[in-house]
Amino acid sequence: MNASEERMIEMQGYKLHVIETNKYKTNTIVWRMKAPLTKEDVTKRALLPQVLQSSSAKYPATTKLRAHLDELYGATLFVDLAKKGEYHIISFLIEIANEKFLSDPAPLLKKGFELLAEILTKPNVSGSSFDKETIEKEKRTLKQRIQSVYDDKMRYSNARLIEEMCKGEPYALQVNGDLEDVDAITAENLYDYYKKAFLEDEMDLYVVGDVKEEDVRKAASELLQFENRTPKQAPEQEVQKRSEVNEVKEHQDVKQGKLNIGYRTNIKYGDPDYFTLQVFNGIFGGFSHSKLFINVREKASLAYYAASRLESHKGLMMVMSGIDNKNYDQAVGIIHEQMEAMKKGDFTDEELTQTKAVIRNQILETLDTSRGLLEILYHNVVAQTDIKIDDWLTEMGKVTRDQIVQTANKIDLDTIYFLTGSEAGE
């Protein structure tokens, strides 16, 4: 196994992480900015990266920037937002060809860094304001992006579950912010927020590819320098266990009902029983050999998909399935039975070994893509831990049946959300 070597270097205002590998034909540069999730900032943070990438001092029009990217052998640039625990994370990703595989030997990596620095540090600004026209266009696009969740019922029902389950907690906020807060953003107040974010956010630069640490460090320190800072910590959320399960049904014109169930695992990345929780999730619903798939789909023929997944930094587990409106009670019943079975230790040794093998495989496969590798490494930034991938694999391998049963009994059912097309689910 080739556990990837991540080297970390303290830079001015951010951490540089370099992973040298010759697996890929391209090099990947990722810039990440993390701040506590708040109602006040989330919509601005959703708009900010879009504004930065669409208009910079050197490339005021998107067309010019995009032509430059094409020129660099179709380098890709995109921005991304994520919620991890109580944090909101902005990412800028650049993937650029390694000229070793091109007939044109002109070096490209440095150009990628220059581009990133241009976008992050030299926006299109006049006085103390972003370009007004850009802001208006990007606000319009952001509104459409927020609205589009409604049109994808799988995403919509998942977002609604979180909203209902985490009401009053920052985690209930949507990753793209609130529609009602978009209009209040101006070219001036967003520019103020931009300065604030680059002063206060926890920032990390990842570089993966056939690169030399020394070259990367040199390019980074030349082009990217910020004030040093102490990253802000999100306040701990105290969650009370519900005395009664929160059951929410919503009616819409849909053919298939969407069933989403949320649990509080009370276990987060970095906790000693986190690896046990992973194995638990694998036996319960993570894979096509898991209890949910076998019992909801294969045995009862109720669904095409029935699965569970973890939100590692928030301590949640979500079950999702698409079912006929009339089968609500039966499906919920089967899912509860599977959870009860887990709590009683009603699973075979074979299920346990099988699940460990599949999780191990999944982690190793994830390491084969540069973005997957970065996702795994970034857990340590969010959770302020230093867990090596090798430790992860070893610890998971040691998980016992008793530990799984103990972990299962820590998990609390919180909210059942059902998006239904008819009254049949009542």
Partner 1 sequence: MEQITFDQLKEELFHEKMANGLEVYILPKKGFNKTYATFTTKYGSVDNTFVPLGKNEFVKVPDGIAHFLEHKLFEKEDGDVFQQFSKQGASANAFTSFTRTAYLFSSTADVEKNLETLIDFVQSPYFSEKTVEKEKGIIGQEITMYDDNPDWRLYFGLIQNLYQNHPVRIDIAGTIESISHITKDWLYECYNTFYHPSNMLLFIVGPVDPEKIMNQVRNNQAAKDYKDMPEIKRKFEDEPQAAAEKKQVMQMNVQTPKCLVGIKALHVDQTGREMLKNELTMNVLLDLLFGKSSDYYYELYNDGLVDDSFSYDYTQEQGFGFAMVGGDTNNPDQLSERIQKILIAAKSKGTFTDEQLERAKKKKIGAFLRAINSPEYIANQFTRYAFNEMDLFDVVPTLEGITIKDVESLAEEVIAEERFSVCQIVPKK
Neighbours of 85 (CB within 10 A): 22
The tokens describing 154, both together, are 């799988």
- Give the three-class secondary structure for 167: coil
**Rounded Cα gap, residues 235 and 237, in angstroms:** 6
Q: Which of 12, 38, 126, 148 binds partner 1 (CB under 8 A)?
A: 148
Distance of closest approach, residue 63 Cβ to partner 1, in angstroms = 5
Write out the binding residues for partner 1, residues 172-201 only, by CB under 8 A.
Answer: none
Q: Which of 12, 38, 128, 147 binds partner 1 (CB under 8 A)?
A: 147
- Give the three-class secondary structure for 249: strand
**CA atoms within a 13 Å half-sphere pointing along the CA-CB vector of 354:** 14
How big is the site for partner 1, counted in residues (CB under 8 A)?
74
Residue closer to partner 1 (CB basis): 330 or 403: 330
Distance of closest approach, residue 279 Cβ to partner 1, in angstroms = 13
220: closest CA among 205, 208, 230, 209?
205
- Give the three-class secondary structure for 365: helix
Distance of closest approach, residue 290 Cβ to partner 1, in angstroms = 9
- In the numeric block, the tokens 């102490």 are attached to 230
The secondary element (H helix, E strand) that includes residue 154 is helix 153-165
Residue closer to partner 1 (CB basis): 360 or 401: 360
Residue closer to partner 1 (CB basis): 73 or 226: 73
Q: Which of 69, 159, 374, 383 binds partner 1 (CB under 8 A)?
A: 69
211: closest CA among 202, 199, 220?
220
Residue closer to partner 1 (CB basis): 23 or 343: 23
Show the binding pattern over residues 263-292: x = contacts partner 1 (CB under 8 A), - = does not.
------------------------xxx---
**Rounded Cα gap, residues 394 and 392, in angstroms:** 6
Distance of closest approach, residue 162 Cβ to partner 1, in angstroms = 19
71 binds partner 1 (CB under 8 A): yes
Write out the binding residues for partner 1, residues 95-134 only, by CB under 8 A.
Answer: 95-98, 100-103
Write out the binding residues for partner 1, residues 17-36 only, by CB under 8 A.
Answer: 21-26
The tokens describing 341, both together, are 């079975």
Those residues with Cβ within 8 angstroms of residue 317's Cβ, 6 or more apart along the chain or in another chain: 262, 263, 265, 281, 308, 309, 310, 311, 411
> Would you give the DSSP letter of residue 56?
B
Read off the amino acid at residue 18: V
Distance of closest approach, residue 27 Cβ to partner 1, in angstroms = 11
2 binds partner 1 (CB under 8 A): yes
Distance of closest approach, residue 101 Cβ to partner 1, in angstroms = 6
Neighbours of 70 (CB within 10 A): 10
Q: Which stretch binds partner 1 (CB under 8 A): 12-20, 70-78, 229-237, 377-385?
A: 70-78
Write out the binding residues for partner 1, residues 351-410 only, by CB under 8 A.
Answer: 353-355, 357-358, 360-362, 364-365, 367-370
Distance of closest approach, residue 257 Cβ to partner 1, in angstroms = 9
The tokens describing 289, both together, are 């050999």
